[in-house]
């Protein structure tokens, strides 16, 4: 329950309102200012004057939508005026940005004259890439949208009409499938014949519902042929010959109820009078036409949806407008036509049948969720909606000839959409693509865990890896069945039944017999699934290993060192974190393994980290961190870092590295320019080597929690074969990402990885910068 003061505080505390404008280009120097404004800004002006389409190249027009309202039909508040409706329009802008990375200016027009509104919006066309009409009452909203669509060459979309129609349309498609009813035969009753009700009826007809099987009911009763009171051309289209005059009459024998009217208008008796397996969409906000509890207690065969988030099957317009505009803008569509709306509905309906990601289960605090009576449409916080719906809309625009800039490669387009969800997703897509080129066998010692099983299904579906699940076959198969996972492509290995068990045990004994192992202890160790998995990797029955979700790091690292061991020339392993900010990526080590490294250890850590960064096609610029800047504070701890720098330069003279230096010096060009112009690290370090585990661990966690960075890791460096660690709170997507990285490393090993890290760092530098 949201309380009044909580809502008022949300909007008033700190920066007033909910939106701000942030520059997408630097404006820190006089040169920046000259480029952002006069004289530099004249150049794109000249280009656009010569070719108006260049506005999409040199300005934000292509990603900018106007949310336009006159405040005459605001939520359940009615005609409260343009100014009072502004918080809603700002909120709409927040949703556009959050879900589809679309920028918005809200435009509140103080007019009840529909022609004035039409003219005002027409004059905005040079500024915006699309127009979202919002909270304009019927029937004026129909006239305004029709006029604008006919006269403008950018997409115009009245969300109050079409948003509810598209989302509930998806729900209708799936409800018909679950009830076994054909959409062309169902009888539908609409309560409410305003903007949303008329739009729902129109779209349902496009989806296959026959017009003669629809009954509209408004405040005057059933819309029937011959009725004159309260009629207009939009209602007249759906008028039918019927003896029904009230909502209760209309509901008798109906298969579907679509409510966009007022609360408590539907009674239990009306629900009882409906056909078998009734479908009820009670979408009035904030209170539905009949409560979820009352409807479901009246009929146990009912499929129910509402507009509320506290019950299953929320028909929320945020599932529509951000993604519809995203697809339309990305192909530079001249309009949003019926085919694009239908494509959006079908995309949502199909997505609801897919396995639900762990991140969505977490967001809604549930253990499981799947296609059925209580899940007929996706959840708003499902990140896949962007890919499915925007892509479907873009394709429909292309197929219907309204796309001025068709997409040539939809795999590339998916990558672009991933990037809009955050830089970390963009980075991980690179690993996923590389992994798909040559999938490897990755073993999971925690194969009985639900998250591992969900991740394994994705790995197989996406052809990223060949998962090997260690555990009891009976337990794993039972979990697979319970979770509804397709086991095809997964290998299950039960150590107690493995034909390789004795061979692994003997090999382990021979490896460790001069380090305290006995035949009996080797046999006992082999019962540890991490140990068994490491032996699979060591004996070439797997190419890499992912573990650590249910245990501490040492329980994975120790057997990795004992069985697989380090690469040639590597004395110590270390753990690196990749920290992804909006405009830069940095790497921190060692935040996982070495508590108090020596100067020699720090040098090895730096070389291993730099090697990994170079392999990611990023040119490493290594800052060796301390509390001292180049001898400013002599102390054994700062001297240790200084010695490490000397060792690194001797081993890899072409590597850009310096220190000891403070963290702000490493990352601030201004400090370097004024006080330390002699260093090669010009405040642009992207590899930060901390002097000990304490500082590294604290640094990466602070940057992740307070600095807004996305942390990927720990990435274990120095092990001879890929072993990747998982944290206790890891989600399914993070498991998939770790696996993709392990596959890429396994590919690299099969191609012939250099024996020593410094061999990679000697010679020509990568051209790519972080």
Where would I find the beta strands (DSSP E) of 36-135?
64-69, 103-108, 130-133
Active site residue 676: no
Torsions phi, psi for 647 (to 5 deg)? -65, -45
Q: Which residue has the tokens 């919002």?
A: 134
CA–CA distances in Å: residue 396 to residues 23, 99, 211, 345, 392 = 33, 21, 24, 12, 6
Q: Select which of 18, 25, 37, 137 is catalytic.
A: 37
HSE-up of residue 603 (Cα within 13 Å, Cβ side): 21
Nearest to 581 by CA among 359, 363, 770, 724: 770
Note the helical H segments in 51-139: 55-58, 86-100, 114-122
Residue 72 has φ and ψ, to the nearest 5°, of -95, -10
d(CA 258, CA 253): 14
How far, CA to CA in Å, does 307 sit from each of 165, 207, 217, 274, 292? 12, 21, 19, 21, 10
Contacting residues for 533 by C-beta, under 8 A, at least 6 apart: 443, 444, 445, 470, 542, 545, 547
Nearest to 93 by CA among 319, 318, 327, 393: 318
Alpha-carbon dihedral angle through residues 755, 757, 758, 763, given to the nearest 10 degrees: 90
Exactly one of 92, 181, 612, 651 is catalytic; name it. Answer: 92
Phi-psi region of 548 (alpha: psi -120 to 50; beta: other; left: phi over 0): left
Q: CA–CA separation, 39 vs 59, rounded Å?
A: 16
Nearest CA-CA partner of 533 in 565, 495, 488: 495
> What 3-state class would DSSP assign to 106?
strand
- Catalytic: 413? no
Cβ–Cβ under 8 Å, residues 739 and 442: yes
Instruction: Give SS3 for 590.
Output: coil
Q: For helices 384-399 and 321-330, give the axis angle rounded to 10 degrees.
A: 50
Q: Which of these, 457, 295, 288, lies nearest to 374 by C-alpha position?
A: 295
Give helix 636-651 / helix 599-615 axis angle, nearest 10°.
Answer: 50
Helix, coil or strand: residue 531: helix
Q: Which residues are catalytic?
A: 37, 92
């Amino acid at each position: 329950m949201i309380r009044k003061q909580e809502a008022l505080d949300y909007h008033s505390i700190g920066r007033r309102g909910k939106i701000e404008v942030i520059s997408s280009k630097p404006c820190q120097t006089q040169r920046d200012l000259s480029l952002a404004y006069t004289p530099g800004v004249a150049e794109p002006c000249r280009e656009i004057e010569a070719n108006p389409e260049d506005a999409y190249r040199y300005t934000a027009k292509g990603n900018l939508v106007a949310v336009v309202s006159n405040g005459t039909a605001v939520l359940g508040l009615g005609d409260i005026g343009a100014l009072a409706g502004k918080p809603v329009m700002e909120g709409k802008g927040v949703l556009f940005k959050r879900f589809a990375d679309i920028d918005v200016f809200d435009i509140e027009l103080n007019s009840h004259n529909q022609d004035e509104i039409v003219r005002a919006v027409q004059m905005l066309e040079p500024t915006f890439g699309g127009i979202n009409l919002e909270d304009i009452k019927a029937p004026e909203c129909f006239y305004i949208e029709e006029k604008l669509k006919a006269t403008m060459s950018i997409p115009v979309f009245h969300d109050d009409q079409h948003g509810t129609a598209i989302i509930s349309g998806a729900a209708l498609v799936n409800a018909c499938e679950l009830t076994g009813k054909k959409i062309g035969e169902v009888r539908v009753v609409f309560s409410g014949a305003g903007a949303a009700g008329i739009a729902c009826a129109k779209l349902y007809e496009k989806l296959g519902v026959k017009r003669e099987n629809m009954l509209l009911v408004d405040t005057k009763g059933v819309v029937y042929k011959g009725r004159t009171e309260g009629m207009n051309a939009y209602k007249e289209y759906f008028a039918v010959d019927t003896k029904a005059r009230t909502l209760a009459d209309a509901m008798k024998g109906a298969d579907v109820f679509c409510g966009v009217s007022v609360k408590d208008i539907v009674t239990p008796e009306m629900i009882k009078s409906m056909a078998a397996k009734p479908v009820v969409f009670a979408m009035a906000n904030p209170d539905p036409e009949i409560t979820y509890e009352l409807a479901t207690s009246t009929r146990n065969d009912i499929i129910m949806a509402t507009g509320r988030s506290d019950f299953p099957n929320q028909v929320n317009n945020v599932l529509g407008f951000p993604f519809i505009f995203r697809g339309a803008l990305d192909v530079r569509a001249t309009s949003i036509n019926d085919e694009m709306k239908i494509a959006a509905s079908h995309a949502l309906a199909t997505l609801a049948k897919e396995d639900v990601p762990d991140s969505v289960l977490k967001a809604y605090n549930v253990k499981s969720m799947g296609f059925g009576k209580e899940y007929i449409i996706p959840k708003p916080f499902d990140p896949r909606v962007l890919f499915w719906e925007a892509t479907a809309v873009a394709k429909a625009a292309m197929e219907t000839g309204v796309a001025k800039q068709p997409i040539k490669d939809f795999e590339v387009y998916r990558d672009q959409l991933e990037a809009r969800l955050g830089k970390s997703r963009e980075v991980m897509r690179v690993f996923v693509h590389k992994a798909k080129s040559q999938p490897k066998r990755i073993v999971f010692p925690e194969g009985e865990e639900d998250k591992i099983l969900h991740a394994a299904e994705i790995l197989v579906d996406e052809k990223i890896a060949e998962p090997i699940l260690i555990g009891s076959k009976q337990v794993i198969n039972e979990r697979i069945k319970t979770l509804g996972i397709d086991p095809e492509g997964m290998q299950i290995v039960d150590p107690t039944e493995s034909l390789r068990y004795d061979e692994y045990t003997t090999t382990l004994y021979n490896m460790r017999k001069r380090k305290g192992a006995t035949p009996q202890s080797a046999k006992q160790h082999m019962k540890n699934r991490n140990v068994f998995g490491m032996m699979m990797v060591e004996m070439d029955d797997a190419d890499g290993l992912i573990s650590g979700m249910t245990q501490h790091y040492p329980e994975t690292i120790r057997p990795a060192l004992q069985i697989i061991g380090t690469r040639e020339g590597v004395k110590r392993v270390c753990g690196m974190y990749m920290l992804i900010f909006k405009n830069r990526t940095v790497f921190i080590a060692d935040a996982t393994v070495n508590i108090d490294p020596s100067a020699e250890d720090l040098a090895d850590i730096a070389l291993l980290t730099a090697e990994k960064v170079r392999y990611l096609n990023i040119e490493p610029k290594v800052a060796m961190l301390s509390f001292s800047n180049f001898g400013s504070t002599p102390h054994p701890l700062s001297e240790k870092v200084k010695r490490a720098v000397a060792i690194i330069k001797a081993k890899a003279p072409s590597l850009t590295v310096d220190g000891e230096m403070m963290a702000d010096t490493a990352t601030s060009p201004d400090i370097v320019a004024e006080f330390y112009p002699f260093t090669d690290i010009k405040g642009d370090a992207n590899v930060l080597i901390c002097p000990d585990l304490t500082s590294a661990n604290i640094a990466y966690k602070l940057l992740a929690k307070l600095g807004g960075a996305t942390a990927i890791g720990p990435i274990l460096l120095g092990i001879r074969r890929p072993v990747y660690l998982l944290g206790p709170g890891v989600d399914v997507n993070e498991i998939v990402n770790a696996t993709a990285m392990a596959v890429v490393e396994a590919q690299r090993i099969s191609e012939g990885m250099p024996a020593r890290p410094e061999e990679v760092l000697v010679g020509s530098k990568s051209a790519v910068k972080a």
